[in-house]
Amino acid sequence: MKKIGPLILLIGLAGFAVFLFDFVSADLLEEPKYFLVGFVSMPLIFIGAVMSMPSLQQKYLKQNEEILREQMKTMGEGFYEDREKFCSNCGDCIEKNAKYCSVCGTPL
């Protein structure tokens, strides 16, 4: 799959290039000879691109693994910082820097 996808993509791109060259170089009243090649190459381009995506995604993730891991860790820390605290005894909402619960007086 890793080699077939890009191969199909290249075949589709080559066919589309032939179609475009033939279409552009045709005279005003002349019909293009390779018009059907354009319609065959478009699905080949799509299929080749779809088959190539998993390997490209895997390659991207391998290259940026440490950066992504650090970003996720930073995002997770920010989530826990903004979270409200609750008293373990009465369940009331507590301010972030409070040392005692304002309702029941339990030390935090």
Flag whether 101 is in a domain: no
Flag whether 21 is in a domain: yes
pTM tops 0.85: no
Flag whether 25 is in a domain: yes
Flag whether 10 is in a domain: yes
- Mean pLDDT is lowest, of 13-22, 41-50, 87-96, for 87-96
Greater pLDDT, 107 or 11: 11
Q: Which domain holds residue 57?
A: 4-63
Burial class (CB in 10 A: 0-12, 13-18, 19+), 22: middle
If one counts the domains in the chain, the total is 1
Flag whether 28 is in a domain: yes
Residue-level pLDDT at 43: 95
pLDDT of 35-81, one tens digit each? 899 999 999 999 999 998 888 888 888 888 888 888 888 777 666 66
